[in-house]
Amino acid sequence: MISHIPAKSVWRVVPVLNITIITYIYLHPDILPGLPYTGPGFELGAQHLRERYNFNATLIYVGDENIRSIADLVADVYRVAEFYYGEWDRNGLVALILPGRVLGLLTVAEMDAIMVVYFVLEPFEQKRQYGYVNYRDPLDPANDEDAAEAFRSLLKIGQCAPRNISKDLDKFLAILSRMSADEYGFHYPTGEKPHEMVMAAYAGMEVYGKIVSEALHDGSDLFDSQALVRRAFNRTFHLRFSEVFVDEYGERRNNYCVSDFNITSKAFEGPLLEYLLAWDA
């Protein structure tokens, strides 16, 4: 890439940076955080790295279609090392994306000599897997109105919804859905959109691109992985569709909202209260 520096009125050549992103992931199509669901998020994230920063980003999926449990995923984590020491061409940087539960179990096993940034997700928000909080009962609709009245005494606490749902976000979600269908044969049920796991995959790639780009322009050592990770700590990233705050321990912190049930609209609305768990000034 050729970049112009007006202050010195000179031209300089910036070499293209090669980045290999190893994603250890469920390959089985019936598992919620598996490749048919989250793959499009990672793939569009890699595309973002190429287009926004001119990085030569290569995305590698490591896994096995027979793995269906977190225990098996941890047991087979050696596949990552096999790729790293065997197939990786040692050209440029390498980044590793692991499921959080795998990372947690590796830490218990004292295999924790790395610094990480991790995105905490709320699986109970995935209605298809954990069920719907709904006053309607298709098998016994006669009690729906009584149930709705009872719902007025409930308070719902969960991750705050985006403040602004833009047309760009709607288009982006539609692209993710189409990629899942076209590339992996997975079709979201009517009314369901790509979930937070997919958006977190994309946002994680955005965060990585930002910190590597900053290190590149600072002239910092790109192979000092701990220094790279520390760039993300205690900081808010203003991303394409969201703001991500990473605390001093490397955890993304979310805001939580309390909402109540509106008997007229028959939906939880609000928020009545927002917990600002962590945010920088």
- Distance (Å) of CA 55 to CA 74, 134, 216: 30, 46, 11
Give the domains, in start order, of the chain with CATH numbers.
2-275 (3.40.50.2300)
Section 10-18 average pLDDT: 61
- 245 vs 237: CA distance, rounded Å: 6
Per-residue pLDDT tens over the stretch 165-179: 678 888 999 999 999
Give the pLDDT of residue 192.
Answer: 80
176 C-beta neighbours (distance < 10 Å), count:
25
Strand, helix or coil for residue 18: strand
For 30, the token pair is 């019936």
Per-residue pLDDT tens over the stretch 42-87: 999 999 999 999 999 999 999 988 888 888 888 888 888 899 889 8
User: 145 pLDDT exceeds 90?
Assistant: no
> Which uninterrupted H or E stretch holds 118?
strand 118-119
Section 94-112 average pLDDT: 72
Look at 118-127, 218-227, 231-240 and tell me which has the smallest mean pLDDT: 118-127
